[in-house]
Amino acid sequence: MSRQLTFLLLIISSLSFAQTKGDWKKNAFIFTPEMLFGKTMEAYDGFPEINLQKQLILSFGRDHGNNPQQWAQRLKRPKTGLSVGITDFGNVDSLGIAIIGMPFIEFNAFGSNRFKVLTGLGVSYFTEKFNEVTSPNNRAVSTNITWAFRLYLNYHFLSTKKVDWRAGLGYSHHSNGHTRLMNNGFNSFLLSLSADIKNPLNKSEENKVENIPEYKNSVYEYISIRSGIGQNVFALAFNDKKNVYTIAGEYGKVYNNTFKVGIGFYYRFYQHYYDYIKGEESLVQPGREFDYFRSNPVYYASNFGVVLHGEVLLNHFGIDLQLGYNLHKPAYKAEWRINEGWDKTPREIPKSWVLGELNSKFKNKYRVSSRLGLKYYFLGMEKSPKNNFFIGAHLNSNLGQADFTEMSLGYIHRFNSQTTSK
């Protein structure tokens, strides 16, 4: 799953350079080197001693100021592209370095051309990962490939003929999406200095915004269905990846071919939960807390709920965020008991073992789910096609705590559009 996820995200990144048409692209190329310094937060007790975190990032992409497509104009002419970089977390011997590949989008903030919000979601490759023998101090990541996320606020403080200089402040995160334990992840807060190097081919007379259509406000209804396959692990004693199968559907509206809002449902089946019940492991054995799970393993290994979905459409691409409410996820109680008690809970759990408490923290994570990721639409959403298909890569979470990494395939159907005056 990690290799497939990496391949999909990099394909999405490369396609982003070829998704639009027109002469405006000739002068739209951007190149931005960036240096970052900051603090890697301690992820667990016994975290190695660290120095200052250091990053170098190179970003390549397009400035959509002259892009005549509706999404670019509705989003106030953003920048999009691919960032690649290298990170030293402050202790190379214990934590190694991370090599990052990440699609990004940057747009104006606070109604100003000087303030920019930049966010990206991609993958990172770690040279060191947790190993009980060779790298016991690195409990932050246990896989070479992880998710990578960043969110930054940049301030454009100086312009020259060839360079726009910016300072920034933001947050970076790396974790493997619960595909292997240990996986506390890396969270960092950093300061950045970057330089937007102006395209030497860009001539002022060619940089004027011309032939931008006068877009009218529009809205249409849609229905969508998708299926997905994900992977996660259950606990340290069950640390092999198994599948999570998903079917989901939704109804909603698309505004101005750019903003998508919907409500829907999801059904998930967790192979780990099912195998734990069918195998009559400790907590489902007769007389134990969850012995009733054995009466219907499929039912108790299932999860279903309702969801509120929001998405920003960039023609062929979608930046996707969902917030859900679990109506049924009983086996998560057993997972919590095992993982939130004493460290390194064994497969055969003594009745005297201290297990995780079903407290208010559990109740919040038990009920609230979230989903963040990227989609690629086979037909551009700019022209609101009647029927369309998409693929996606997502990280699913329990109120911010990684649950499983997923790849999906879906279908969307548009009803007749309705247009109003601008």
Q: How confident is the model at residue 9 (pLDDT cuts 50, 70, 90)?
A: low
Q: What is the pLDDT of residues 61-105, one digit of tens each?
A: 888 888 888 998 899 889 999 999 999 999 998 899 999 999 999
Q: Which amino acid is it at 156? A: H
| Selection from 113, 106, 112, 58 nearest residue 80 by Cα | 106
b/e 324-347 (16+ beta carbons within 10 angstroms → b): bebeebbbbbbbbbbbbeeeebee
Output the six-digit token pair for 216: 């009218």
CA quadruple 46, 48, 50, 55: dihedral, nearest 10: -110
At residue 248, the pLDDT reads: 98
At residue 17, the pLDDT reads: 46
Phi, psi of 288 (to 5 degrees): -90, 170
At residue 18, the pLDDT reads: 45
> pTM of the full predicted structure?
0.88
Q: What is the pLDDT of residues 120-163, one digit of tens each?
A: 999 999 999 888 877 787 888 889 999 999 999 999 999 888 89
Residue 212 C-alpha from the chain's centroid: 32
Helix 331-339 and helix 271-278, axial crossing angle in degrees, nearest 10: 90
DSSP-derived letter for residue 235 is: B
The Cα 399–Cα 360 span in angstroms is 12
Output the six-digit token pair for 138: 């690195």
At residue 422, the pLDDT reads: 55
Q: Which residues contact 296 (CB under 8 A, 6 or more apart)?
A: none
Q: What is the pLDDT of residues 172-202, one digit of tens each?
A: 999 998 898 888 889 999 999 999 997 765 5
Name the most confidently modeled range: 36-50, 203-217, 233-247: 233-247
Q: Which residues contact 219 (CB under 8 A, 6 or more apart)?
A: 253, 254, 255, 256, 417, 418, 420
CA quadruple 228, 10, 372, 267: dihedral, nearest 10: 0
Are β-strands 368-377 and 387-398 bridged in parallel, bridged antiparallel, or unpaired? antiparallel
CA quadruple 402, 406, 411, 415: dihedral, nearest 10: 10
For residue 35, pLDDT beyond 60 = yes
At residue 213, the pLDDT reads: 80
Q: What is the pLDDT of residues 275-304, one digit of tens each?
A: 999 999 999 999 999 999 999 999 999 999
Q: Return the ∠ at Cα 382 (arms to 381 and 383), rounded to 5°.
A: 90
